[in-house]
Amino acid sequence: MHFSSVVWVPLFALSTAAYTPASTANTDQLAADALSNLATWAADGNLNGTCTLENAAVRKEWGNLTETERSNYTSSVLCLMALPAKTDATIVPGAKSRYDDFLYQHINQTLTIHGTANFLSWHRWFVYTYEQALRNECGYTGYQPYCKINLNPHSARGLRHFSLVYTMYFKAPGNWGRWAADPVNSPIFDGGDYSLSGNGVYEAHNCTEGLPTDLNCIPAGSGGGCIYSGPFKNSTVHLGPVDPTLAESEIVSNNGTIYNPRCLKRDVSSWVSTRWTTEENSTALITENSDIDSFQTTMQGNFTAGTYGVHGGGHFTIGGDPGGDIYTSPGDPVFWLHHGQIDRTWWIWQNQDIASRQDAISGTITMDNSPASRNGTLDDTLYLGVNADTIAIKDVMSTVEGPFCYIYM
């Protein structure tokens, strides 16, 4: 039985002569509105702590990073993959690297961090903690890539207290819809030195049953085998799979703790992206769901209706192993950019109406309330094992308060 997996989003890139990205004007405007509203909120004295819009870190689109910045990011990820694990080897003998420390926590908690009240908050804390590991343990000086807005002088009431002004001018604004029409040829997957590696080599394989209801079996794409170019072509996946979607003899499911070294496989799918990660999908998600329950439910998809949502859609755009496995999906480095997009989309939604949405929470503490469980609360905690201190959900609801000080532009 397969659950909706979670692993990627065609969301960034430098355009090339051979590739024309789609317009993302609607979601870009929503992001601009979000930033303006946040600026007004801050100017009205609603922020606590030392974070301001002036000193906040800016998470940028992959395509707006320079080649050097992209190389620095992938090198830092490879560094994390080379550092020794901190997880207790008697509990998880398959964890060999610091990267595996993060992967194991996702494997171990999958059924209590998806379709739950903490889905968005847990993954926000997860991505931030990973970003900090890259910075503090591998010398990375940037922030988790995702999207960028250029800044130019422009007067705005919300920024009058900050000695700086922003223009809401987007250059190559990256998100899922930008590359949904043809993700395999997008710069994120071009396989060059400044990409996150390319598609897998073609291997005959089954369609992907991504949903527990066995609806919408994803047609086999042009990949399916090991990636063969780019920074991660020689990387090894150590843990899992737990719920594999590639039916191949060498992919044997297990509990996610044993040592099971194998290459990273992808099967990048436009069949998925053109159905669930278009600009229209994202715009509707943000504008047509005014309460947190409908927003996060629509984002994650409706299994009984056979829809993946932008979350599952982003993950199954990448597919393969570990990308097509809801448990082990962070084993593919594109996971982190996808969940940067997930977090950005939540950030945009929250900042459309900060007063009523910033602390909005809904859902129970088990996946789709199975088995039946109590409602989650802001006082519940988020656990990441050796990777971070335990923290309350209420402390991660704003990206400019608590331990955070970052924005998307």
CA 20, CA 17: separation in Å to the nearest integer? Answer: 7
- Residue closest to 279 by CA, chosen among 345, 339, 333: 345
Give the per-residue pLDDT at 193: 93
In a domain, 3, yes or no: no
- 73 domain residue, yes or no: yes
Q: Please check whether residue 165 lies inside any domain of the structure.
A: yes
Query: Which of the 8 DSSP states describes residue 322?
Result: B
Is 313 inside any structural domain?
yes
pLDDT at residue 99 is higher than 90:
yes
Average pLDDT of span 179-188:
74
Supply the pLDDT for residue 167.
34
Reported as a single tens digit per residue, the pLDDT across 36-77 is: 999 999 999 999 899 999 999 999 888 788 999 999 999 999
Question: CA-CA distance, 8 to 314, in Å (whole number)?
Answer: 4
- The answer to the question of residue 16 being in a domain is no
Q: What is the pLDDT of residue 187?
A: 76
- CATH number of the domain encompassing residue 352: 1.10.1280.10
What's the pLDDT tens digit per position in 341-399? 999 999 999 999 999 999 999 999 999 999 999 999 999 999 999 999 999 999 999 99
Domain containing residue 265? 25-408
Where residue 94 falls (left for φ over 0; alpha for ψ -120 to 50; beta otherwise) is alpha
Q: ω into residue 145 within 30 of 0, thus cis?
A: no
CB neighbour list of residue 99: distance below 8 Å, 6 or more residues apart: 77, 80, 81, 83
Instruction: Flag whether 130 is in a domain.
Output: yes
How many structural domains compose the chain?
Answer: 1
pTM: 0.88
In a domain, 4, yes or no: no
Residue 37 lies in a domain: yes
What was the pLDDT predicted at 307?
85
CA-to-CA dists, residue 369 to 147, 208, 365, 375, angstroms: 33, 25, 7, 9
CA dist 150 → 13, 30, 73, 262 (Å): 15, 16, 20, 41
Instruction: Give residue 172's pLDDT band: very low, low, confident or very high (50, 70, 90).
Output: very low
CB 29 within 8 A of CB 347: no
